Amino acid sequence: MARNEVATHSMRESRRFRYGLGLVIPMAMLAGCGNEDDPDAGEMDDSAVMVDPEVVGGNSSSLALSAEQRAPQQIAAARQEAAALVGGADRLSPAPPAQEYGARIPEDSALTAAARSAVKPGGANCAEKVAYSSAWAARLPAAFPVYPRGATQEAAGTDEGACSLRVVSFLTPVSIDDVLAFYASRARANGYGAEQIRQDGDSILSGNKGAASYVVYARPAGEGTTEVDLVTSGS
């Protein structure tokens, strides 16, 4: 295998771990956080919740959109299509204000609940079951599509057993605020909650509806673009 092919392969495999384990990041924060009144609440196998930060951190500098994809008319068109998907610009509302947390996310946060949904009754870790294919980007729940004109970089998912997990990473030329407003509006319109936190440079939007959940990780990717990891669990 040529040197550039090896580098491409290694980068791809590293990113795959990142995207496949995206929802497991918050789970690492849950280790040892069981509720004293519910001895089963914190029972998770450490191997299912711990993530190597070197692998998960990734490096978005290797990702880029073309100048054409970043053109003002493309950005305007993407925003217009996003507004149409929420029923009009007047229904596109900002994401809730971000809360700042340190190394541990509170047990009562939406992100904690969303993370737990990837561990099904019986301890099945759905993130370990994902298969990688761009086809999963087209199999996201209707409530949470890829942002209009977003460029999918990687996709993974599983419907094995009790799992229904989707992980899609994409780039978009719109701002983080645009991305979060779109998903917050889609969430509210479909009966999900919406909570935003900011941690380690990521803006993270999450919410639940019963056993279903979503998490949106958004961060700057250079040249005015935004990198997004979109994770959904349940239907």
- Residues 101-155 have pLDDT tens digits of 766 667 667 777 766 666 665 556 787 788 889 999 999 999 999 999 999 998 9
Residue 123: the pLDDT is: 59
221 compared with 15, residue with greater pLDDT: 221
pLDDT tens sequence across 8-36: 333 444 444 344 344 443 333 332 233 33
Looking up tokens 């040249």 gives 223
pLDDT of 80 above 90: yes
pLDDT at 37: 40
Q: Give residue 96's pLDDT.
A: 96
Question: Where does the pLDDT of residue 61 fall: very low under 50, low under 70, confident under 90, or very high at 90 and above?
Answer: very low
Is the pLDDT score of 45 beyond 60?
no
Interval 83-101 mean pLDDT: 93
pLDDT given for residue 17 in this prediction: 37
pLDDT score for 83: 98
Residue 47: pLDDT above 80? no
Between CA 211 and CA 113 the distance in angstroms is 9
Tell me the two tokens of residue 191: 């009966």
Residue 101 is predicted with a pLDDT of 72
Q: What is the DSSP string of the chain?
A: --HHHHHHHHHHHHHHHHHHTGGGHHHHHHTT--BTTBTTTT---HHHH---HHHHH--GGG----TTTTSHHHHHHHHHHHHHHTTSGGG--PPPPEEE--SS--TTSHHHHHHHTTEETTTEEGGGG-EE-GGGGGGS-TTSPPPTT-EEEEEEEE-STT--EEEEEEEESS-HHHHHHHHHHHHHHTT---EEEEETTEEEEEEEETTEEEEEEEEEEETTEEEEEEEEE--
Phi, psi torsion values for 62, nearest 5 degrees: -80, -5
Neighbours of 38 (CB within 10 A): 9
Nearest to 203 by CA among 215, 218, 189, 225: 218
What would the pLDDT profile of 136-148 be if each residue is shown by its tens digit? Answer: 999 999 999 999 9
Give the residue among 229, 22, 206, 205 at the shortest CA–CA distance from 126. 22
Q: Is the pLDDT of residue 60 over 50?
A: no
